[in-house]
Structure 1
Amino acid sequence: MTTYLENLAVTKYGLALHTTTPELGLAINNFAGDNRAQVWNLGRDLSSFVHQYLVEFIQPQTWSDIGFLAVAKGPGGFTGTRIGVVLARTLGQQLEIPVFAVSTLAAVAWSAKDSIAKTDAIAIQMPAQRGQVFGAIYQPHADNSNLTTLLPDSVFTPEVWQETLANWQTTYQLIEAKSALAATVTNILELAYLDWEQGKRPHWFEALPYYGQHPVDV
């Protein structure tokens, strides 16, 4: 019995979107040598032009070539995060393909894995609203096969986050996610592909945004 259906056929591609900042990041890859990625600084025009840029970006591939979608689910800007997740869910529903919602912080951790000691965990912090911070801690697998979440994405006061790090029992590297996050769209796609290889096929309605905070201070 063949098992090729469990792998991404070379004629199929994974497509990733990153819209949690004013930048738009897109990546496409068949994980057999054909891949590309691009970032645009669209600012407030992101919502107006994301569809146009996406349609142009996937060419010469077509929608029928897409085997799965990946999207940065946050944390990040409320409007941008919502735009990306809604778009990915809509495409997943229309194309009837899986949608992987991947943490923005996990993507940053994955992008940094090769620059730290293999045994170290990676702590990621990112500025949040109202003087708070988003924080998470991840452990890359020794064989680079995936990430293990040691501390899930959460919102902290700076004091509680520093206390959390001070009391952490294993060695870690601290990375601050500040800018150029859309460039990690390739890492979003890689993490999704690792889950795909493990047989995960999340339905589009499972792709939910992570805001962490209410967008309005009440």
Structure 2
Amino acid sequence: MTNTAKKYGLAIHTTSPELGLAISNFTENTRSQTWNLGRDLSTHLHQRIQEFMPPQIWQDLSFIAVAKGPGSFTGTRIGVVTARTLAQQLNIPLFAISTLATIAWSYKHKSQHLCLQMTAQREQLFTAIYQVEEMGINHLLEDTLINPAAWKKILENWETSYQLIQVENSLGKSVVSLLELAHLEWEKGNRPHWSEALPFYGQHPVER
């Protein structure tokens, strides 16, 4: 049974060299912070979370959110594993949300379809098309690994006006959007079990 006295959500974003953490009770108290950790993410992640949490404590959390990718293979894996471990230990829901969806949500004032592309390895792209709605994200084209020529053809044939967004490599700042999307799902009554949180790699890259 969910403890209704718990008020906070914690978001963890590790899919790029920039770590992002955010915590909120969705009324008057919201905090977020980013660190450019690069390859030191695995060394410093747990320490950064421990330092970031106070004055809140683990028992204040109602849920955790994590960016599930696409993005850095190692960073994504570390973030998802850490979030799964915390959610399991605390016995609270874990929302695993697309990296691209968090970027789309940061454009929530836009009425156009949002076409996102992120550079992948082997001359491929991670792509998705979203429509932002009042209560969340509508996936018009799911996150996909695709070659640039095929993506270009999809855009040429897309019948609705859209904004093309090139997703950059520093993604930690979108952790607030990650937390907001998870909270919307929480408000809808969704309570995903930690075991349902799986990373989206798209491909098995060699780390840059």
TM (norm. structure 2) is 0.95
What displacement does 1:179 show? 3.1
The equivalent of 1:15 in structure 2 is 10
Secondary structure of the structure 2 residue equivalent to 1:140: strand
Q: Point out the more displaced range, 177-186 or 151-160.
A: 177-186
Instruction: State the distance in 2 between where 1:29 and 1:195 align.
Output: 15
The equivalent of 1:78 in structure 2 is 73
Secondary structure of the structure 2 residue equivalent to 1:68: strand
Point out 4+ residue stretches in structure 1 off by more than 2 angstroms. 5-9
Instruction: State the distance in 2 between where 1:113 and 1:93 align.
Output: 32
What displacement does 1:180 show? 2.5
Match of 1:123 among 102, 109, 115: 115
1:194 aligns with 2:189: no
The Cα offsets for residues 13-54 of structure 1, whole Å up to 9 and x where unpaired, read as: 000000001111000000011010000001111100100000
Percent of aligned pairs with the same amino acid: 58
1:149 aligns with 2:144: no
The equivalent of 2:98 in structure 1 is 103
1:163 aligns with 2:153: yes
What displacement does 1:172 show? 1.1
**What amino acid maps onto 1:145 in structure 2?**
M
Q: Is the 8 A contact 1:19 1:81 kept in 2?
A: yes
**What amino acid maps onto 1:157 in structure 2?**
N
| Distance change (3 Å), C-alpha of 1:78 and 1:213 | same
The equivalent of 1:41 in structure 2 is 36
Instruction: State the distance in 1 between where 2:154 and 2:139 align.
Output: 15
Q: Is the 8 A contact 1:6 1:197 kept in 2?
A: no
Secondary structure of the structure 2 residue equivalent to 1:79: helix
Match of 1:59 among 28, 50, 54: 54
- Count of residues in Structure 1 that have an aligned counterpart in Structure 2: 207
The equivalent of 1:90 in structure 2 is 85
1:25 aligns with 2:17: no
Secondary structure of the structure 2 residue equivalent to 1:200: coil
TM (norm. structure 1) is 0.91
Q: Is the 8 A contact 2:17 2:170 kept in 1?
A: no
Secondary structure of the structure 1 residue equivalent to 2:15: coil
**What amino acid maps onto 1:156 in structure 2?**
I
1:203 aligns with 2:184: no
Instruction: State the distance in 2 between where 1:87 and 1:190 align.
Output: 20
Match of 2:128 among 129, 136, 140: 136
* RMSD after superposition: 1.7
**What amino acid maps onto 1:153 in structure 2?**
D
Q: Which runs of 5+ in 2 are unaligned?
A: none
Q: Is the 8 A contact 1:68 1:99 kept in 2?
A: yes
Secondary structure of the structure 1 residue equivalent to 2:114: strand
